């Protein structure tokens, strides 16, 4: 079975939201683009979300951001996380 993988560009508005958080620049942040995976000759496809990895020497937070969705999700639980919660977590990491 052949598949087609279409890389998605990381949304600039998501990056801007996160970079506006005070003191976030003191942490290591990695933005990973999502993908749209389509199985040829079928109507099946998978949307792999964008990932944001925020880390320091001892902790790591992985956030998921889906295309056409303004929410962030925690990777472990897939719970919606607000920007205020992200700010709180970042302050704990510093």
Tell me the residue range of the domain where 23 lies. 3-93
Alpha-carbon radius of gyration of the chain: 15
Using CA atoms, how far apart are residues 37 and 93, in angstroms rounded to an integer? 34
Q: What is the mean pLDDT of the chain?
A: 88
The backbone region for 20, taken as left when phi is positive above 0, alpha when psi lies in -120 to 50, beta otherwise, is alpha
**Number of domain units in the chain:** 1
pTM of the model: 0.82
Segment 71-88, tens digit of pLDDT: 889 888 878 888 888 888
Evaluate whether 50 touches 56 at the Cβ level (below 8 Å).
no
């Amino acid at each position: 079975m052949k598949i087609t993988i279409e890389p998605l560009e990381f949304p600039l508005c998501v990056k801007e939201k996160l970079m506006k958080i005070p003191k976030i620049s003191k942490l290591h942040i990695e933005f990973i683009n999502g993908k749209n995976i389509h199985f040829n000759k079928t109507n099946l496809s998978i949307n792999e979300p964008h990932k944001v990895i925020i880390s320091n020497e001892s902790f790591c937070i992985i956030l998921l951001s889906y295309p056409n969705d303004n929410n962030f999700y925690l990777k472990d639980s897939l719970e919606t996380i607000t920007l205020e919660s992200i700010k709180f977590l970042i302050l704990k990491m510093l």
